[in-house]
Every structure is written in structure tokens, then in C-alpha cells.
């Protein structure tokens, strides 16, 4: 290497060190505002207490749209608008009863389930998985309530992986059992926590198969029922739910943006979902993601950051039972020929943040990993390939790198889709740290992009 | 490099890869047992509910000693014994009252505080730090209650650092104020959480200075009082506490060990402290550390691990107000000429583990860091120089490397030394992950030591 190159190199490294110092200070400022003058916690309180649970199609979901629009407008971003989204409209009935041998169990009808059309009485057959169901066949299943009781695997460190290994019972259990003549389905709640709260969630029916009602049992009741069946295999259970699916309704994604100062036609989208299940208050799922996203945009405006690209906060409607908000957003983006630099989602709760996973190319993941030293002081340590988010997933076909905020997940499924997903179960500082982490990642992507790192480009030139 | 060296090197690396695989499997087994067949959570329930709060010198502390000895004996370790420790005996009185303008405030007498000898009525002067106190001097302080109201700095990511920046108010506030003629002290509770629970903790008096009573106010009451003083600087406060210090008592460290199979005279000590404050149930502080330590020894025995060194679980008495257990342990070790390979402590709560900090040499820290790839699958990411623990600190002068388990600390000071430090505020899986992390670190230290890494020794030879 000659002397000129050496000088250039040393200038380059001085520049890099200076840039890192600047970035550090910017990120520190973001965290300071989130922790000292944050709005995330009070905004979440308002969403949980003034709006509450907000399932797609419900009056509360409509209220949530107004709530979000008003809040975003109050922050005077460059633009706030509603994007129309057609959503399904399922409603839990006022009857929700199940039990065994006359003893009531704590249940939640699964979202999408049909009514039982009155009280069903039947024997129960407990199974662990679909293979077992197929082996038992019509001879053992016909006329019975099938009880899916596969529990979370405690050995899995990630509770998300434990959930992933059980969720097919909830989603597909009814149709799989109906094929063999079952009359209803009990599903063990998808949670580690052995309490009295049943956890709802989406289920679907396969075409052309008789639709039977499907409900979640609380983990305590699932254990009780399983114990009881060991000694009383012919115990009589009952099930009575009157949920129904009405006509689709009109709803909206709520969107706000700050225009890019250099390349306004390129967009960084980040968001959470505004809808929730119709139980609890949708505090962690996904009130946290909603307020993380709003707070990220608010903080970046508060520090007068001039983004290179357009920063767009999207509060998606209908993640829980259809993902029509996410699908509509991607379709509109495609139709308009919008270019997305990246899409980020916070939909894993308001717990203490651990880092980010990215559904993107190796190069993009490496670029994200290069920022670890800047974020390590905030205890962020996960920077790897992985899941982005349900709402942003439809952008994948447009080659947009998808990034998911990863809060600690040990407590997430304790509350997920249950009566306990309320504001009181969210910790203020953990929520605020999540918002700051989200804002910092958006800042870094805006500053450095996610293509070939600018540093490497300089070296090549 | 010649061919023979290359072959040797490749054998060395194959050996290393094989050893890593073995270590991975061993660690996986440790975590599986902790999460699937763990005793930590049920042991903590028993300590909290059957024994409860257990301040040194109290009947409950005595009960805790029996509880621990019985439990350790039930696991049939090689040896269980009690090590005598003389402890102070301070007791909170049955009178604990304070208020302002006739309105009661939620308080806790600080541990070690003298009685107020009846009801004190006085004006209050609010200050932030000792510098301000000195500036005000006797003219403004004499005859008043000094109110230390320096709050946790929300900007600090580590709540431990926020605590560290405020704790001198609690520890030294009384004597500092007494110098200028103050008649009593109110200290803002050391917590981020704005609730009604005051947080107690240790305080001390300087020799030769008039002892005045000192109490913690709940954060809510501290904020209320501060607001009130803005408009009513002459508001009348009252304080009435009848705590007292009795004669020292006899108590014990409770110890169990598994003998080393190769070098039994060298010891790895790990523990938590058995005593707690006399409020709540000492669940996080330090019931968690107690059950982490017991569980670590139990699991290593359960997997029939043959330790190289002697593994010793020490449940220290009197960390909270004297550290006589830790001091005695180190003194006995010195007297007996015991060699300690390392000392580990869990005294930072039962929250989800983040990693370990070490008070040791650069080389020792590097050795610990070399194990990060083995522990990263369990979301451990902190491996750096730092704090060991109060109980093990006296071993420092014997050149023992000290290692502290680092659980996430965002929630720790919400409960620390308050009525809410109860079993219900500990999360089962987080506690179990802590126990497994602790056991895994003990396993790695036992297998590889903390001196020059065996790998490097091989290379040198």
C-alpha cells in the first residue's frame, strides 16, 4: 500500500469513527427521550382503557381507528391518512359454556368458530396430534368431542417455538376431527401458564368439511379434564357456544409519515397491528407494537431528524383473523409502484427488547449486524436472520427486507389472546426501551440503507 | 508450518470441536432438567410461604436456617453443615408513622435506624444531595426533618446504576443531616416505580454524631410531599418510629457440597443469601439466589456429573445488614488455607438471565468469554468484567475470581426491599432459566478452570 492510500485509509477510518460517535449520540438521545419524556406508556394506557379490546369489525375497532388517527394528527406529522381495508366480522356469542360431568370449565370460543347451535353433550377423546387422530379414526372419534391436549414443550427456550409446535391444533383441529365425525373440539390453551384463563385465537375450516365448534380450555381445565379422563373415559362433556360470522365490514389501516428529505419516493415502513382479539385489552398484542411505532415516529420528529427516506408508520387492521390490512397495504404499494427500503414490525409484546430478526438477504443481515456495537449498550444482542412480522409479510414478494423487533418472550404467551393481556401487565420501562430500540433501528436503516454498506461502496470506488 | 504440525493442529481442532459438542449436550441437559423437572420454583414457594421474610436475628431467619439445612440434606449431597455467624439484631417497631399536614404517608423505617423516642413534629427541608445540604448548613437545617428526594435517573439503562447513584442518601443521609442539627430524615424510596410501597434497606451512623431516625417514603408520597412543599414550605410533618437494636445473635451460613473427584481440595463456591429484609417475602432478594444455588448443585448431582473440584453451595446469612456471613466465610477459608478456584453469586433477582459479570483478571474474563458460544443459545449475552456479589466480595483479598449472575434488571428495584417482593412476582421459567444458567457456568468453570485456558497450555507445550 502506498502512502497516498494509507492517508486515504486513515481519513476513511477517522470518518468512520466520527460517524460512529455521531450515531452513538443520536441513539442515546432517542433512548433518553423514550425513557424520560416518553409517550408510549400513556398512549398504551389510553388505547387499553379508552378503547379496549378491538376485534376487526367491532365498534371498538372502529373507535381504535379514530383514536389512532386523532393521536397521529396531534403530533403534526407530514401526512396522516386512512387506507380502506375490508375485514371479516366474527362475533363471540353471549353463550360460552363447557364442562364435564356437570363441572364448568373456563373456555373461550376460538375466533372463526361456528355456533354449537344449542347444547352438545358427548364423550371426550383426548389426543396429542393429528397422527393419533388418524390412527383412532372414525371408530373412536365419531360422535365425540375431540380434545387436543398437546402442551407447550417446556424445554424449548423460545416460547415462540413452543407455540409454533402447538398452534396447528387450534388452527386446523376442527376440520381434522370433523372428517372422522367429531361433533366439537376442545383445544388446550396455547400457554405455559397453568391458570384459569383460556386463550382464544384464530381457527379456520377446510372447504367441503362439516363445520364443528371449537373452543380453547384454560390450561388448568385441560389438565383437570385429562386427569379425569384417565379414570372416567366415558365422562360426559357439554359445549354450548353461539358465536357467528356476519358480513364483512369496512375498516382501515391508519398511516402517518414524515417525508424523506433526499429520496422521498423511497419508504421505510414500520408498524404494529391496531386490531386485537376481543378479550383483555390487547395490551401486549399488539397495543405495544402500535405505541412503539407511533413513539418511534414521534421521537424522530422530536429530535428534528431529517430522514433521507420517507418514514411511514402503519397501524395495520385485521392481523388477528385475516391479515387483510397487511395484504391490502402490500397490494396498494405494488399498484402505486412504491419502493420500500425496509419494513419493520413490532408484534411480539412490550417486554424488554433483545434485538431484531430479519427476513432478508445475507448481505442485509450482515449490514444490520454491523450496528450491534451501537446497540449493545442498550442490551440488544439478537441480530440474526429470522421472522419479520405477519402484517409486513405480504411485502416479501416485492423483495422488501422484513425486520421484527424481538422483545424477551418468556412471559408473552402467559397473556397472549387472554383476559390478562391488559395494560397492568405491561412494564413501563420495558415498553419504553422497546420503542427506543425500534426508533434506533429505523434511524440506522434510514442513515445507512440496507443495500451494500456505504463503507464498502467507498472502498470499491 | 510443516505437515506434522498441520496434522497435530487438525487433531487439536477436532478434539476442540468434539469437546464443544459434549459441552453443548451437557448444558442442554442442565437446561432441560431445570425447565421440565425443576425444583427452583417450588423451593422458592416454600421459602417464601413457609418461612417468609427473614431478617438476621429474627425467629424467621432461624427457621430459614433449618429450612435450608433440611432441604439440602434431603438431596443427599456429600456433606451439609452449618457455619456459625454472629449477626446483628435490629427490629422494626410496632409503631411506624409519618405524615405531613396531618395526612399519613407510607413509610418503612430504614434498617439500623434508631427510634424517634416518641412523636417528632418539624418542618421539612427537601434536598437533592449532600452538596446542597452543606450549602444550606445549620441555618436552614437545624430542627428540621431533612427530605432526600434525589430520584432514580430514568436515562440510565441499568437500574443498578440508577440505584448506585442514589443509595448514599439512604446509607449516610442521617449522619450527614444530623451534623447540621436535623431531627429526622425522610428518604425517597430507591425505585423507579411510583407506587404506595416504601422500600427499606440498610443505613449506618457515623461515630460521634447524634443518631437521628431515618425512614423511606414511598415514591408516591415523596412526589406528593415535594409538590406540597412548593406551595407550603412551612408544612408540619411528623415522624414516629420505635425500632431498636438488640444484642447480636448466633446464626449460620448453611453449606452443602459435592466432593471433587480429582482435586477435592480446590473449591468452587456459589451461593446467594438466606437472610432478607423483614418485609415482603424476600423472593427476588434473595430467595431467587438461594434456590438458584441449591438447584445448581441438585442438577449437577442429578446428571451424575463428576466434578473435578469440590462444588460448594453456600447460603450466606446477613448480607442485608452486616455481611457477617460473607466475612465469616472468607475468614474461615483463609484460616483453613482453602483454595478457591472461583466464587459465584446470584443476588440480583429471579428475572430472565442475561449473563455474567466477573471481578477477576483480564485472562479470567477472556476465559469466561470463550464460553459465550455455548451459552448464546440460551440468550445469555453479557460476559464482561464487573460486579461479583456482596457475600463473596470478602474472598477478593484471597485473589478468588468473583462472578455474578446477571438477570435482566428492569423490574428488580420495583420490588427490592418492599412489601411486593413476594413469590407471586417471580416468573417460573425466568427463575428456572436463571438456575440453569448458574449451573452451566459452574460446570464450565469446573471443567476448564479459570487460569490459563487448557487450549493455550496445549499450544505452548
pLDDT classification of A8: cutoffs 50, 70, 90: low
User: Which residue in B157, B354, B377 is closest to A157 by CB distance?
Assistant: B377
Q: Quick one: how far is CA B9 from the chain centroid?
A: 44
- Which stretches of chain B score pLDDT less than 70? 1-2, 4-6, 8-9, 11-15, 452-461
pLDDT value, residue B84 = 98
User: Which residue in A354, A378, A410 is closest to B157 by CB distance?
Assistant: A378
pLDDT value, residue A17 = 80
Q: Which residue(s) pair with B404 in the sheet?
A: B345, B357
What is the rounded CA–CA span in Å between residue B106 and residue B103? 10
Mean pLDDT of A161-177: 98
SS3 A222: helix
Report yes or no: A36 at the B interface, CB cutoff 8 Å.
yes
Helix or strand (DSSP H, E) at B258: strand B244-258
User: Which residue in B354, B381, B427 is closest to A411 by CB distance?
Assistant: B427
> Which CATH class, in words, describes the domain spanning B16-90+247-460?
alpha beta
Q: Which residues of B touch A154 (CB under 8 A)?
A: 35-36, 429
- Are A429 and B354 a contacting pair at CB < 8 A? no
Report yes or no: A103 at the B interface, CB cutoff 8 Å.
no
Task: Give me the residues of A, 322-361, that contact B with CB < 8 A.
Answer: 352, 354
Phi/psi zone of residue B51: left (φ > 0), alpha (ψ -120 to 50 degrees), beta? alpha
> What's chain A's average pLDDT?
95
The model's pTM: 0.95
- Are B379 and A192 a contacting pair at CB < 8 A? no
Beta-strand relationship, B120-127 and B107-109: unpaired
What is the rounded CA–CA span in Å between residue A456 and residue B436? 42
Is the domain B96-242 a CATH 3.50.30.30 member? yes
Beta-strand relationship, A353-359 and A382-385: parallel
pLDDT value, residue A19 = 83
pLDDT value, residue A12 = 66
pLDDT value, residue B455 = 34
Side-chain half-sphere CA neighbours of B104 within 13 A: 8
**Assigned CATH for A93-242:** 3.50.30.30
Q: Quick one: how far is CA A373 from the chain centroid?
A: 27
- Are B157 and A411 a contacting pair at CB < 8 A? no
pLDDT value, residue B417 = 98
Beta carbon pairs, A and B, within 8 Å:
58
Q: Is the pLDDT of residue A458 over 80?
A: no
pLDDT value, residue B16 = 76
Q: What digits encode the pLDDT tens for the residues A301-355?
A: 999 999 999 999 999 999 999 999 999 999 999 999 999 999 999 999 999 999 9
What is the rounded CA–CA span in Å between residue B176 and residue A300? 44
> Which CATH class, in words, describes the domain spanning A21-90+247-460?
alpha beta
Q: What digits encode the pLDDT tens for the residues B376-433?
A: 999 999 999 999 999 999 999 999 999 999 999 999 999 999 999 999 999 999 999 9
Q: Is the pLDDT of residue A89 over 50?
A: yes
* Of A38-42, A448-452, B167-171, minimum mean pLDDT range: A448-452
Model ipTM value: 0.94
Task: Delimit the domains of chain A by residue range.
Answer: 21-90+247-460, 93-242
Q: Is the pLDDT of residue A406 over 50?
A: yes
Mean pLDDT of A84-96: 98
Buried b (16+ CB within 10 A) or exposed e, A309-346: bbbbbbbbbbbbbbbbbbbbbbeebeeeebebbbbbbb
Report yes or no: B161 at the A interface, CB cutoff 8 Å.
no
pLDDT classification of A454: cutoffs 50, 70, 90: very low
Q: Is the pLDDT of residue A9 over 70?
A: no
Amino acid at each position: 500500500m502506498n502512502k497516498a492510500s494509507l492517508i486515504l485509509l486513515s481519513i476513511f477510518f477517522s470518518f468512520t469513527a466520527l460517524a460512529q460517535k455521531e450515531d452513538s449520540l443520536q441513539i442515546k438521545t432517542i433512548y433518553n427521550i423514550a425513557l424520560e419524556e416518553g409517550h408510549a406508556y400513556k398512549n398504551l394506557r389510553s388505547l387499553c382503557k379508552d378503547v379496549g379490546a378491538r376485534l376487526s369489525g367491532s365498534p371498538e375497532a372502529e373507535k381504535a381507528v379514530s383514536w389512532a388517527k386523532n393521536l397521529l394528527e396531534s403530533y403534526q406529522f407530514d401526512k396522516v391518512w386512512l387506507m380502506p381495508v375490508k375485514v371479516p366480522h366474527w362475533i363471540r356469542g353471549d353463550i360460552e359454556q363447557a364442562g364435564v360431568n356437570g363441572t364448568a370449565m373456563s373456555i373461550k370460543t376460538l375466533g372463526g368458530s361456528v355456533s354449537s347451535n344449542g347444547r352438545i353433550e358427548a364423550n371426550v377423546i383426548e389426543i396429542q396430534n393429528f397422527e393419533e387422530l388418524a390412527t383412532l379414526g372414525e371408530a373412536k372419534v365419531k360422535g365425540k368431542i375431540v380434545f387436543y391436549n398437546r402442551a407447550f414443550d417446556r424445554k424449548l427456550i423460545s416460547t415462540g417455538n413452543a407455540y409454533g409446535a402447538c398452534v396447528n391444533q387450534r388452527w386446523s383441529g376442527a376440520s381434522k376431527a370433523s372428517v372422522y365425525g367429531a361433533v366439537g373440539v376442545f383445544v388446550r390453551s396455547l400457554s405455559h401458564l397453568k391458570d384459569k384463563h383460556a386463550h382464544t385465537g384464530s381457527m379456520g375450516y377446510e372447504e367441503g368439511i362439516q363445520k364443528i365448534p371449537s373452543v380453547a380450555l384454560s390450561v388448568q381445565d385441560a389438565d383437570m379434564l385429562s386427569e379425569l379422563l384417565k379414570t372416567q373415559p366415558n365422562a360426559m362433556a357439554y359445549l354450548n357456544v353461539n358465536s357467528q360470522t356476519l358480513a364483512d365490514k369496512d375498516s382501515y389501516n391508519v398511516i402517518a409519515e414524515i417525508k424523506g428529505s433526499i429520496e422521498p419516493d423511497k419508504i421505510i415502513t414500520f408498524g404494529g397491528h391496531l386490531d386485537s382479539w376481543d378479550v383483555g385489552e390487547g395490551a401486549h398484542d399488539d397495543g405495544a407494537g402500535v405505541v412503539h411505532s407511533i413513539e418511534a415516529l414521534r421521537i424522530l420528529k422530536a429530535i428534528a431528524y431529517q430522514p433521507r427516506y420517507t418514514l411511514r408508520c402503519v397501524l395495520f387492521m385485521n392481523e388477528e383473523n385475516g391479515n387483510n390490512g397487511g395484504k391490502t397495504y402490500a397490494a396498494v404499494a405494488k399498484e402505486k409502484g412504491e419502493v420500500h427500503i425496509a419494513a419493520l414490525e413490532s408484534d411480539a409484546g412490550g417486554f424488554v427488547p433483545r434485538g431484531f430478526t430479519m427476513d432478508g438477504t445475507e448481505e442485509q443481515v450482515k449490514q444490520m449486524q454491523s450496528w450491534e456495537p451501537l446497540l449493545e449498550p442498550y442490551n440488544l444482542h439478537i441480530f440474526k436472520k429470522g421472522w419479520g412480522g405477519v402484517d409486513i409479510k405480504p411485502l416479501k414478494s416485492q423483495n422488501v427486507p422484513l425486520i421484527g423487533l424481538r422483545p424477551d418472550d418468556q412471559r408473552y404467551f402467559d397473556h397472549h389472546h387472554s383476559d390478562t393481556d391488559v395494560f397492568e401487565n405491561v412494564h413501563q420501562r420495558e415498553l419504553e426501551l422497546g420503542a427506543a430500540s425500534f426508533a434506533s433501528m429505523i434511524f440506522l436503516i434510514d442513515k445507512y440503507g440496507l443495500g451494500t454498506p456505504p463503507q464498502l461502496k467507498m472502498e470499491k470506488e
